[in-house]
Amino acid sequence: MASSSRGARPSRGGLFAWLDERLGLTDWAAAGSRVRIPDHRATLGYHLGGLALFFFAIQCVTGALLLAYYSPGAGAYESVRRITFDIEFGWLVRSVHGWAAGLMLLCLVAHTVSAGLMRAYRRPRELTWYTGLAMLGVVVALAFTGNLLPQDQAGRMAAKLALHAPSHNPVLGPLVEGLLVAGDEVGPATARRFFVSHVVVLPTMLVALLVLHLMLVLRHGLSKPPEVLEAPDAPPRTIPLWPRFLARDAALWLVALNVVGLLAALLPRELGPPADPLAPAPPGIHLDWYLMAPMHWLRVTARIPGNRGAALGVGGLALVVALLLAAPWLDREGAPEWRRKAVPILGLLVLVAAGVLTIWGYLELWWVSLP
């Protein structure tokens, strides 16, 4: 920040000048206009991270509002019922919180895919890639823990379904049971742990990761797609972060806010019957869309008799995680050409498999629901 220029500026009156002298607004703007964003065919991809950040801001605001009326523990269901059916605009805040969560995850998945396809994980951006992956994991955990908080039957059954999956694993099983389930059964004690994770632990982790991620993005600049990099004779067009890129961002955020509002207005979050440990599982119980692919993978591989099925299931998921983590190392400078090319190809394969598994899972649910 060029603070030496401050003395050269004529001192003007007015609120802006007052603020500028104290906050250095002009210097910030000048610094923002020096940050250049590549402008090319895939520019839209650069907005995905900002869009996810915008959804996170919505989550913080609506989450704080929900906290004002939500009571954890035995009165949880009743408090959510009041939010949905009695309190003015309670339904709106709750529906926006629910929809924005899904859209935020969607943005993060798209952001990860777009960064992966641009091979943005390569040196020197390895840590940007890892912090991004960690944030994706934290957000999935946020969505998953939030689902149980209303203490309705559907949320309880979904949590039970997911927490049951690792119960046969000798290492993960006891860990999950001791740390998350907090007892023999998914119940109020589980909900309390999920509540603490959802409003304290996970958001703190997310903010810390986010600060690191943004610092790294500013330090290394944005990655360019390979075809732009491979045409060195035509230097890519760039636009300044401030004000042009941020104006675009703002327009996009407004449209995104509208999409959330529209979804909340047309399809407000309903509230099912309260959690009842004695009631049978409602037909067609399933996890939200973002966990459908791994869940269905486990379900499909479990159909193979014997231990091989379970090994394939867990092993397959572990391989995907390993690929994501190893991508910067596999695709590093000096590595054999076939190995560098393998990363995006494998990534695409995983993406296609996840898509197929998700659709397959929903089709099976639909099939089972037929009379």
Pairs from 104-107 (Cβ < 8 Å, separation ≥ 24)? 104/52, 104/55, 104/56, 104/59, 104/139, 105/139, 105/140, 105/143, 105/290, 107/48, 107/49, 107/51, 107/52, 107/55
Q: Under a CB-based contact definition with an 8 Å cutoff, are residues 282 and 153 in contact?
A: yes
Shortest separation between residue 226's beta carbon and other proteins, angstroms: 22
Nearer of residues 10 and 371 to other proteins, judged by Cβ: 371
Q: What sections of the chain are H helices per DSSP?
A: 15-23, 25-34, 44-69, 76-85, 90-117, 126-148, 153-164, 172-176, 188-196, 202-220, 226-229, 246-266, 289-301, 307-330, 337-369
Shortest separation between residue 139's beta carbon and other proteins, angstroms: 23
Nearer of residues 154 and 210 to other proteins, judged by Cβ: 154
Q: Under a CB-based contact definition with an 8 Å cutoff, are residues 350 and 325 in contact?
A: no
Q: What are phi and psi for residue 43, nearest 5 degrees?
A: -60, -30
CA distances from 97 to 27, 57, 92, 138 (A): 36, 11, 8, 17
Which parts of this chain interact with other proteins (CB under 8 A)? 44, 81, 84-92, 95, 152, 154, 243-244, 247-248, 250-251, 254-255, 257-258, 261-262, 264-266, 268, 270-273, 280, 282-284, 369-371
Nearer of residues 155 and 328 to other proteins, judged by Cβ: 155
Q: Is 280 left (phi over 0), alpha (psi -120 to 50) or beta?
A: beta
Q: Is 221 left (phi over 0), alpha (psi -120 to 50) or beta?
A: left
Shortest separation between residue 335's beta carbon and other proteins, angstroms: 36
Nearer of residues 156 and 213 to other proteins, judged by Cβ: 156
Nearer of residues 28 and 85 to other proteins, judged by Cβ: 85
Tokens encoding 259: 């999409």
Q: Is 40 left (phi over 0), alpha (psi -120 to 50) or beta?
A: beta
Shortest separation between residue 268's beta carbon and other proteins, angstroms: 5
Beta bridge partners of 36: 240
Shortest separation between residue 276's beta carbon and other proteins, angstroms: 10
Q: Are strands 36-38 and 238-240 parallel, antiparallel or unpaired?
A: antiparallel
Nearer of residues 81 and 340 to other proteins, judged by Cβ: 81
Nearer of residues 261 and 316 to other proteins, judged by Cβ: 261
Nearer of residues 256 and 314 to other proteins, judged by Cβ: 256
Shortest separation between residue 12's beta carbon and other proteins, angstroms: 24
Shortest separation between residue 371's beta carbon and other proteins, angstroms: 4
